[in-house]
Amino acid sequence: MENDAKRGRGRPKDWDDKTAQNTIKSLDRALEVLVALGEMDGGTLSEVAGALEQSPATVYRVLTTFQGHGFVDFDDQNQVWNIGATAFLTGSRFLRRSSLAERARPIMRDLMEATGETANLGIERDGQVLFLGQVETHATIRAFFPPGTVSAMHASGIGKALLSRMDDTRQRRVLAAGQLARFTPYTLTDPEAMIADLHAAKLRGYAIDGEERNLGMRCIAAPVYNVFGETVAGISVSGPTTRITEDRIAALAQPVMDAAARLTLAIGGNGRPAG
């Protein structure tokens, strides 16, 4: 009876059945349009339809439906569709679901002030880094990872910090799934070289992205732990290599690790890593 009551509150009997009979194909296609529009950072009807290989008429119906609910906006002058305010408000509720981003904000602000560089917060989602927050430096040249940005784990300071604390089996599985794409001449694309780099990051307590995602940019990141000593997030500073020079890495790494330790305590985490 207790299980039936729980099911009635949120899940039908066959909730774990993800076959076609329990999905709405038209909704699937519509959400593909919304996600594609967000990834494109806006586009014309023909651009969105072309990216999805769908007919413009179908995509137009989807977009106008979303427009009616505020999920997309249309720029009449430029004939461009963009993500709307309702989509932002809906997505922002993800951040409010957990206290992680809220508790990280003052810590990230202190980290930015202490280092003079942009502070970032990210988590792992589906084998990628999802950035939850950022406090930008006052300097004119800066890194920019707005909330909702995703990045490859193997070419991200936060991603490598998270990977460094995974067990060997999961670590290799995530790396294999990502295919270790090359973004710059400095990207580590050899699995064994990447694993050696992650081992070094684990030993020293912080990871480094040295122009591996964007030329001229460097990132230093440390992991954040939950109550079980498992990594749940990463916190970092990022900036141009002209400021984050190799001889400054060790000095900047300490406030990054201190910030990660503060956030671990703030969320009730255990600073002693599991395993």
User: pLDDT digit string (tens) for 138-150?
Assistant: 887 767 777 888 8
How confident is the model at residue 22, as a pLDDT? 56
pLDDT of residue 275: 61
pLDDT band at 269 (very low <50, low <70, confident <90, very high): confident
pTM of the model: 0.68
Per-residue pLDDT tens digits for 7-21? 445 555 554 555 555
Instruction: Tell me whether the CATH fold assigned to 2-89 matches the one assigned to 98-266.
Output: no
Q: How confident is the model at residue 204 (pLDDT cuts 50, 70, 90)?
A: very high
Residue given tokens 């020079």 in the structure block:
245
Q: Transcribe the chain into DSSP letters.
A: -HHHHHHHHH--TTTT--SGGGS-HHHHHHHHHHHHHHHHTSB-HHHHHHHHT--HHHHHHHHHHHHHTTSEEEETTTTEEEE-HHHHHHHHHHHHHSSHHHHHHHHHHHHHHHHSSEEEEEEEETTEEEEEEEE--SSSS-----TT-EEEGGGSHHHHHHHHTS-HHHHHHHHHHHTT---STT---SHHHHHHHHHHHHHHT-EEEESSSSTTEEEEEEEEE-TTS-EEEEEEEEEETTTS-GGGHHHHHHHHHHHHHHHHHHTT--SS---
Digit-coded pLDDT (tens) for 210-258: 999 999 999 999 999 988 889 999 999 999 999 999 999 999 999 999 9
From CA 243, how far away is CA 266, in angstroms rounded? 30
How many CB atoms are located within 10 Å of the residue 7 CB? Answer: 13
- Cα distance between residue 161 and residue 125, in whole Å: 14
Cβ distance 143 to 159 under 8 Å? no
> What would the mean pLDDT of 207-211 be, rounded to a whole number?
96
Report pLDDT digits (tens) over 60-118. 999 999 999 999 999 999 999 999 988 877 876 665 555 788 899 999 999 999 999 99
Of residues 244 and 275, the one with the higher pLDDT is: 244
Strand 128-135 vs strand 118-125: parallel, antiparallel, or unpaired? antiparallel
Q: For residue 176, what pLDDT band results from cuts at 50, 70 and 90?
A: confident
Amino acid at 113: E
CB contact at 8 A, 256 and 222: yes
pLDDT value at residue 93: 67
- Which residues lie below 8 Å from residue 115, measured CB to CB, with a gap of 6+? 237, 252, 255, 256
Give the model's confidence band at 23: pLDDT under 50 very low, under 70 low, under 90 confident, else very high: low
pLDDT of residue 173: 82
- With 90 as the cut, is the pLDDT of residue 135 above it? yes
> Where along the chain do its domains lie?
2-89, 98-266
101-110, 180-189, 264-273: least confident range? 264-273
CATH class of domain segment(s) 98-266? alpha beta
CATH fold of the domain at 2-89: Arc Repressor Mutant, subunit A (1.10.10)
Which of 172, 235, 160 lies closest to 200, judged by CA? 160
What pLDDT shows up at residue 15?
46
The C-alpha atoms of residue 259 and residue 5 are separated, in whole angstroms, by 43
Backbone angles phi, psi at 67, to 5 degrees: -60, -40
